[in-house]
Structure 1
């Protein structure tokens, strides 16, 4: 498989997962939780204003995805950078990527950066959908089915609400090409800001975990040296 094909597969899978609630129980203090629909509505409204974010993705078990790990930064314009570990015929290969304007830079562990156009990548998948309020995470939250508030708990030091929800295949498929079914997962929503902190997405034979951090920290992406 060529480096360009490996990169396309990696970005399509990893950035797509970058992605991804009625009535509640009780918080750790015993107080009633906000309703699930209220929490995902707040989260959708909060994510609509996000200008940038850092993300991490990792897998547990052997879910049917080629990307096993990813870390990166993304702006609302779709510019970003990071690394992806992709399974190619049983071997893990690491790909570095830099997305700037109309140009996509990518490289493997050895060799230099190669280029493709944004339009070539967008013909398969457009990473900007993740923070695009009309297509990405905002729509995923807006269209979450049967959301249920489960608990209030700490997540990496932050107070968060844990919410279960069925995420619509119709919406997810715009970010996860080829997905053929709804996914019932868990979402952690920051109590203070209502932003999405984590998504736990069970799939066949495993799961995908996606976390978000560094919201609205300026993302300055620099083209790699030729």
Structure 2
């Protein structure tokens, strides 16, 4: 056989192998992914049993929401502590808070702690609602519309499924105060525990990213010294 024929035969053989392998992998990857509806349902069920968690929320760009950044620890009993960065008339103000029962201890960058009621804090931002099964993550996942599994991938080093879904404005507002629209967002759900790890929420002017972690790590919130 001539060198030319050998070369052509080798190319055709290589192409057929690549095509066969590529097609098989794509098909296997697709069929291996669970449905989005199944994933958000399991995630809602898993979240309902959560006793505590940590969270962080941060904006990118200039979305029209007053709370630009927040982080803290959450207890299933409704207690919480952390910090909130809020836009007040174009100026960013950071507030530290400790929420115990119906009392909120709070302070700015300078000065000592003062007190307000839970309802007063809720008018700005109530992070304790996140783990409330009637208001927070459980409802967000239970009411997600048209969930579709996009891929299996790692987020923050954890094996997860990436799921797109339309998320309710009313429920999202418990995590992102001032939100005035439903969102076509992206969720990352832990493969092993089915708990929500991250939410990417595109908004007009930018986006909000919310990250959750340390599920069921004991949280003890104590009042600050006065």
TM over 0.5: yes
TM-score normalised by L of structure 1:
0.82
Aligned Cα RMSD in Å? 2.1
Quick check: which has more Rg, 1 or 2?
A: 2
Q: Give the drift of 1:128.
A: 3.2
Deviation at 1:126, TM superposition (A): 4.8
In structure 2, what is the equivalent of residue 19 of structure 1? none
1:45 matched to which residue of 2?
45
List alignment gaps of at least 5 residues for structure 2.
1-25
User: What per-residue deviation string (whole Å, max 9, x for no partner) do you get for residues 32-58 of structure 1?
Assistant: 210010000010010010011000111
Match of 1:200 in 2: 200
Using the TM superposition, give the Cα deviation of residue 171 of structure 1 relative to its aligned residue in structure 2, in angstroms: 3.3
How many correspondences in the alignment?
Answer: 201
Larger relative contact order, structure 1 or 2 (CA cutoff 8 Å, min sep 6): 1
TM-score, L = length of structure 2: 0.82
2: distance between equivalents of 1:117 and 1:178? 20
- Map of 1:10 onto structure 2: none
Output one character per residue of 1:101-127: Cα deviation in whole Å (capped at 9) or x when no partner: 121000000000000122444577654
Aligned equivalents of 2:30 and 2:170: distance in 1? 37
Which residue of structure 2 lines up, in the alignment, with residue 12 of structure 1?
none
Counterparts of 2:47 and 2:86 in 1: how far apart (Å)?
A: 28
Q: CA deviation at 1:169?
A: 2.7
- Looking at structure 2, the residues matched to 27 and 208 of structure 1 have their Cα atoms a distance apart, in angstroms, of 33
CA deviation profile, 1:110-161 (whole Å, cap 9, x unmatched):
0000001224445776543211112211011011000000000011110000
Higher helix share: 2
- Secondary structure of residue in 1 paired with 2:41: helix
